[in-house]
Chains A and B, each alone.
Chain A
Amino acid sequence: MRELTLSDITVMAQGYCVIGLERTAEGAFRSVRPLPRRSHAWPAFFPYGRGSIIRFSPAATPASMPHVEDQNTHGLAPSGEQVGEAELVEMLRRAEVSANLDELFRCQLHTDVQGGNAWAEPASATRSIGGFEFRNIRFRVLSDRGEANLRAKLLLPSGEILYSLPVVDREWRQFFSELVRSQSQSGTAPSAEAFLNGSIRTELLRSPNRFARIGLTRGTSNEEKKCWLMLDSLFPQPNPAWLPQ
């Protein structure tokens, strides 16, 4: 049995895609994406959270560039152990990190439109997950099919910017849904976007656990040559107490 500390739980269709950290040497970690049989996503009832330590038996896994972290499993088993957010972020700082865009997936990133999201060519990226301590963040709320959709803009330590990253972090998505719901019930509340770019942004920027994990999509049927960037995990994780009363 191998052991992972779950670091990323992201919304993927009706389920969740997860990544955990595996110790490779004293003080170093690598990301492993445990996959259920015959799917890339775990079902909607996923009983673990970030920091949960889980165990799994590996199964044969076909290579799938750039998702080199993929690891088929025979299911996940709880260890009963858990690490806190500060410890988890410290582990992430010793996994796949990059201060600049070129090193994030070790390939060139492209954009189609000014201010739009970036993508990587599947054949050129050599990994599908990377992280950095962001220096600034702004949120944008968009409406898609009548549903509010959250995007983020992040400043890297290099001074480079990732624009319009879709937020797929499970906890941040839930927090955002709760925020939108509470604001729709209150006629006087500021817009969700203003709230996120106000007090929530302040909370994020003053946290010592400030860290972002960026993942790559697997591409869609009509855009197979593009792996879009996503905000897989945003630390600190949202605190329900931050929601407006």
Chain B
Amino acid sequence: MSSSADMDESHLLEICRRSVAGRLPSQAHPEDDEDLVRTGALDSMGWVDVLISVESATGLRDFGSDWPENRPKSIRELAEAIRAAHTGRTEQHAAERFATSAENGSEITIRGWGYALGSVTVDAEQIELDLHLAPHKIRDGAGIQSLRFADATEDELILGQKAAETALDTAGVDVEGVDFLLTTSTTFLRLPSFAASLHSRLLVQESCGAFEIGGACAGLIYSLAVAKSLLRTAPQGVALLVASEVHSRRLKHPGVLGEFRGLFGDGACALVLSSAAATNQERSLRLGDFVWGCSGHFASALTLNIDENSSLALQFKGEPLAHAAVVQTDRILEMLESKSGRPRAEVDYLALHQPNPRVVEMLAEKAQVPLEKIPLISRTCGNLGSATCGVSLCQALTDLCARQDPSRAPLIFLAAVAPGLIWGGTFLF
């Protein structure tokens, strides 16, 4: 895609010549001023393809969709139209950037959110029976009341699509306006990748990037970090993040312990980020700085391998893992206090990864934060992997919207830990 610095006349003409040449027989070399439709070199279908080709080459959305009836359909007029559209867009972006930085002091905001849960609810007692666990192991031991499972028609893509479309609706953004799709999923083990498959399913523009982000339970926070970097270079500045997990199928394997499997549910979350949302949305929350790292000391607390026979081999040391998660999450909160310049007592919500509700309760006690500030989705849905802290964030954002308290800017901390022990955090303000 051409940058603004390259937009001199000869370059524009060359872009247009290439776009036209792609639609003509190889021996045809039309003049720059030739009306390609009037002379019969192109039919109307060919002209539309030329417009689409120019759109791809320049990143100008809806290029030529309102081409005046009497305007010649020539290479030179195409170049002139690009120049005019580009000039208009540059001025608009400059105004948006100025407004954003002047009013908010940051470019990246959360503009929309949504989530989707597996449509089957199974209560803890049934899980204990199905997985041959001791009575109360899930309900009292882990604090889980129920799990949400995907039904036979649902998978990572279906749940991800639902969450994404809800988030786009909330943001008021058309799917064609998305520049970057960033996805994360631990349970989607197929090719084409989750990002590519979701890109197709959503019918986003072909020129929209599709990025697959790892990080397991910390995947959403890592996706936010990547999105923030990408949006600083995006022409239109909209990123769609989707985390989606269907554990109930992936973990349904003899090599996976019931006490581990019984902690996980199925669900997806999506966020829409924009670099210029503040011009339209006064209450958009800005994305703050990030902290991240990997503490290898705890690497063996949870391992999952797929061997050459496609069998899953799990190593799960529940208590050490829970202890490590609590300690590390508390450290992340300390770092976020430092990064944000505000103490945790001022935080409205904590959107955290939740291995299970008991671990969250332990964390709340250690970190001295009220449990009611943590949307505890794991109690009724289970651990949703990479989607956990995202669904928790969605609930917090929805609550904040309902509160509508303009007297002070809200503050949300996000923190997650994942096998490895990968960890990450950020804040919204």
Contact = CB atoms under 8 A, between A and B. Distances in A.
B338 interface: no
Contacts of A138: 175-176, 203
B201 A136 contact: yes
B144 interface: no
A114 B45 contact: no
A159 B52 CA distance: 22
A135 interface: yes
A113 B22 contact: yes
B53 A142 contact: no
B200 A115 contact: no
Nearest to B202: A136
A149 interface: yes
Contacts of A113: 19, 22-23, 49-50, 52-53, 56
Nearest to A230: B45
A58 interface: no
A151 B62 CA distance: 13
Q: Is the interface of A mostly helix, strand, loop or mixed?
A: strand
Interface in A136-175: 136-138, 140-146, 149, 151, 153, 155, 159-161, 163-164, 166
Given A116-B52, A142-B48, A155-B201, A222 B22 contact: no
A85 B95 CA distance: 51
B203 A143 contact: no
B67 A135 contact: no
A207 interface: no
Given A155-B201, A223-B43, A115 B56 contact: yes
Contacts of A146: 68-69
B201 A135 contact: yes
A144 B49 contact: no
A117 B22 CA distance: 13
Interface in B35-51: 40-41, 43-51
B305 interface: no
A64 interface: no
B201 A117 contact: no
Contacts of A115: 52, 55-56, 205-207
A141 B50 CA distance: 15
Given A136-B201, A137-B203, A159-B201, A117 B49 contact: yes
B178 to A, nearest CB: 12
B192 interface: yes
B207 A114 contact: yes
Given A113-B49, A160-B200, A220 B43 contact: yes
Given A145-B44, A159-B197, A164 B203 contact: no
Contact of B52 (A114, A141, A222, A223): A114
Interface residues of B, number: 37
Contact of B48 (A136, A151, A159, A221): A151
Contacts of A144: 44, 47-48, 67
For this complex, into which size category does the number of interface residues on chain A fall? 20 to 34
A57 interface: no
A145 B45 CA distance: 12
Contacts of B22: 112-113
Given A141-B65, A143-B65, A161-B200, A166 B45 contact: yes
Interface string B46-84: 111111110110000000111111000000000000000
B42 to A, nearest CB: 8
A137 B51 CA distance: 21
Contacts of B55: 115
B308 interface: no
Nearest to A141: B65
Q: Which of A113, A141, A143, A149 has the most C-beta atoms of chain B within 10 angstroms of its own C-beta? A: A113
Interface string B171-202: 00011100000000000000010000100111
B201 A116 contact: no
Contacts of B23: 112-113
Contacts of A164: 48-49, 52
Q: Which of B202, B203, B205 has the most C-beta atoms of chain A within 10 angstroms of its own C-beta? A: B203
28 contacts: A112-B23, A112-B49, A112-B53, A113-B19, A113-B49, A113-B50, A113-B53, A114-B52, A115-B56, A115-B205, A115-B206, A135-B201, A136-B203, A138-B203, A141-B65, A142-B48, A142-B64, A143-B65, A143-B67, A144-B47, A146-B68, A146-B69, A151-B48, A153-B203, A163-B52, A197-B174, A222-B41, A228-B45
Interface of A: 112-117, 135-138, 140-146, 149, 151, 153, 155, 159-161, 163-164, 166, 194, 197, 220-223, 228
Given A115-B207, A141-B65, 4 more contacts: A117-B49, A136-B203, A145-B44, A222-B40
Interface of B: 19, 22-23, 25, 40-41, 43-53, 55-56, 64-69, 174-176, 192, 197, 200-203, 205-207
Query: Lowest 6 CB-CB distances: which A-B pairs, in order?
Result: A146-B69, A113-B53, A116-B49, A115-B206, A114-B56, A138-B203
